[in-house]
């Protein structure tokens, strides 16, 4: 009796094995145990999908079909992401057999990048005008801390009338009314990344004297009015002028 029940089960297992195509994605860099491909900005990621079935393969990026060239579909297909860009972070690539979407394999890109802080910038601001300094701190993983210094010392927010904002993408240092004695000097914005360490950008701020600003538009309007008035006056007296000239 045992043999009678085992035989159908054995044949069922064989049938299932022959129907499984075994779609598998391999990656350079390698895929970790969580199905993530760790990479960096501007790098190259190569994905290779293979199947035991000699059928066309389909690639999807976040659910959208990837166009493949002829000869890069049947049984084995590859996709190259180069260079890796910001938008590739958390992008999921899926491969399945054409006509059989249930037999599939997927990987997700995890792109890391540092904040783009480097170089220096010359900033001139008039006395009494608003001073605004900005630093881009967008990074993955996010920066752990941000600091501002003036002439090598931490910026005194209270005595110097500064305000600092940070939305995770940009940090901004502002002073409502620039004063040479308080705000002129060398500034540095420093962001600390848990992966890429410290990155900084320098600013050299100069506070200039106020300049007299001419009201250009009112002046132009005034000149136009004067000219039109003069033309109207000449036109009104034209007959008298012509009579005097005869």
What is the average pLDDT across 177-182? Answer: 95
Taking residues 120-148, what's their average pLDDT?
A: 97
What is the SS3 assignment for 113?
A: strand
- So what's the pLDDT on residue 45? 97
Q: Please report the pLDDT score of residue 54 as a whole number.
A: 84
Per 3-state DSSP, what percentage of the chain is helix, strand, and coil (rounded to 5)?
20, 45, 35
Q: What average pLDDT does this structure show over 33-61?
A: 94
Confidence at residue 19, expressed as pLDDT on a 0 to 100 scale: 39
Q: Roughly what angle, to the nearest 10 degrees, separates helices 238-245 and 216-236?
A: 50
Q: Where along the chain do its domains lie?
A: 22-111, 120-208
Neighbours of 173 (CB within 10 A): 22
Q: What is the band of 18 on the pLDDT scale with cuts at 50, 70, 90?
A: very low
3 state DSSP class of 122: strand
Going by C-alpha positions, the residue among 65, 78, 102 that lies closest to residue 27 is 78
CATH architecture entry for 22-111: Sandwich (2.60)
Q: Which two tokens stand for residue 190?
A: 């420093």
pTM of the model: 0.71
CATH 2.60.40.10 fits 120-208, yes or no: yes
Of 9-23, 77-91, 232-246, the least confident? 9-23
Instruction: Name which residue leads in pLDDT, 196 or 18.
Output: 196
Q: How far apart are the first and last CA of the chain?
A: 141
Spatial neighbors of 18 by CB under 8 A, at least 6 apart, are: none
Nearest to 114 by CA among 210, 52, 201: 201
Q: What is residue 159's predicted lDDT score, i.e. its pLDDT?
A: 85
Determine contact, residues 91/66, Cβ cutoff 8 Å: no
Number of continuous H segments (helices) and E segments (strands) in the chain: 4, 16
Inter-residue contact 215 to 131 (CB < 8 Å): no
Give the pair of three-digit tokens for residue 115. 């904040």
């Amino acid at each position: 009796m045992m043999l009678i029940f085992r035989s159908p089960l054995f044949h069922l297992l064989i049938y299932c094995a022959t129907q499984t195509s075994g779609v598998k994605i391999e990656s350079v860099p390698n895929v970790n145990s969580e199905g993530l491909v760790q990479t960096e900005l501007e790098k190259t990621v190569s994905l290779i999908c293979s199947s035991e079935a000699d059928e066309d393969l389909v690639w999807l990026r976040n659910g959208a079909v990837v166009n493949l060239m002829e000869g890069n579909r049947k049984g084995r297909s590859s996709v190259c992401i180069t260079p890796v860009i910001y938008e590739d972070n958390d992008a999921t690539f899926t491969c399945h057999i054409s006509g059989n979407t249930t037999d599939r394999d997927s990987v997700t890109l995890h792109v890391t990048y540092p904040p783009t802080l480097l170089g220096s910038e010359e900033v001139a601001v008039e006395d009494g005008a608003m001073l605004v300094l900005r630093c881009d701190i967008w990074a993955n993983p996010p920066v752990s801390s941000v600091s501002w210094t003036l002439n090598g010392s931490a910026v005194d927010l209270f005595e110097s009338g500064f305000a600092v904002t940070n939305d995770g993408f940009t940090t901004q240092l502002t002073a409502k009314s620039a004063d040479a004695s308080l705000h002129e000097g060398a500034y540095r914005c420093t962001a600390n990344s848990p992966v890429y360490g410290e990155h900084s950008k320098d600013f050299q701020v100069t506070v200039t004297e106020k300049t007299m600003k001419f009201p250009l538009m009112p002046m132009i309007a005034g000149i136009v009015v004067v000219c039109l008035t003069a033309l109207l006056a000449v036109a009104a007296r034209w007959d008298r002028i012509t009579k005097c000239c005869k």
